[in-house]
């Protein structure tokens, strides 16, 4: 086997020196370079994990805030609807009160008008009575002047007064 290695041009001593150099280089790389590369890779992996964790935490917080926002929106809508319902009921009450007052005012005005009409009617009847009485007295005096007897004149006046009394 020694001849074969020499025939190929392999120097056994040189192979051992190169293998020893390679092992020494491998040892030095492991001690100084691979450890640092491993630390950098580990740090990067930790950073990626931390970023994913922070991203998940942020997503969870966003979901929580979204749910809270939706609850607040629903609550605000319910409060607004309640206030609108109260306002509608109050407006209806005020409208009913205004209508009631308008009906009451109209009834009062109608009653006052009826009273005014009744007063005017009584005044007119009193005026008519007074005029009838004046006319009766005038006609009676004219009849008396024409020599009518007293009994006939009194009957005539009594009849006129009864007729005027039945008009009221």
In 13-66, DSSP assigns E strands to none
Report the pLDDT value the prediction gives residue 31, as an integer from 0 to 100: 83
Report the pLDDT value the prediction gives residue 149, as an integer from 0 to 100: 66
How many C-beta atoms surround the C-beta of residue 112 within 10 A? 10
Report the pLDDT value the prediction gives residue 9, as an integer from 0 to 100: 77
Could you give the CA distance from residue 5 to residue 49 in angstroms, rounded to a whole number? 54
Could you give the CA distance from residue 75 to residue 92 in angstroms, rounded to a whole number? 26
Total count of residues recorded for the chain: 168
The full DSSP string for 62-129 is HHHHHHHHHHHHHHHHHHHHHHHHHHHHHHHHHHHHHHHHHHHHHHHHHHHHHHHHHHHHHHHHHHHH
* pTM score, whole prediction: 0.41
Report the pLDDT value the prediction gives residue 89, as an integer from 0 to 100: 94
pLDDT in tens, the chain (168 residues): 557 767 777 777 888 999 999 999 999 888 888 888 888 999 999 999 999 999 999 999 999 999 999 999 999 999 999 999 999 999 999 999 999 999 999 999 999 999 999 999 899 888 888 887 887 777 767 766 665 566 776 777 788 778 777 765
Domain ranges of the chain: 2-167
* DSSP classification of residue 31: I
């Amino acid at each position: 086997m020694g001849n074969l290695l020499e025939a190929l041009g392999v120097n056994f001593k040189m192979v051992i020196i190169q293998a020893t150099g390679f092992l020494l280089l491998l040892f030095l790389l492991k001690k100084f370079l691979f450890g640092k590369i491993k630390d950098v890779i580990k740090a990067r992996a930790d950073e990626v994990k931390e970023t994913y964790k922070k991203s998940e935490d942020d997503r969870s917080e966003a979901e929580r805030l979204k749910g809270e926002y939706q609850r607040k929106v629903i609550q605000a809508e319910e409060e607004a609807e309640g206030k609108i319902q109260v306002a509608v009921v109050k407006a209806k009450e005020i409208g009913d009160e205004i209508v009631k007052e308008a009906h009451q005012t109209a009834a009062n005005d109608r009653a006052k008008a009826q009273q005014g009409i009744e007063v005017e009617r009584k005044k007119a009847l009193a005026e008519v009575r007074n005029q009838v009485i004046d006319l009766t007295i005038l006609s009676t005096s004219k009849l008396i002047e024409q020599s009518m007897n007293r009994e006939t004149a009194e009957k005539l006046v009594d009849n006129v007064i009864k007729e005027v009394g039945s008009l009221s």
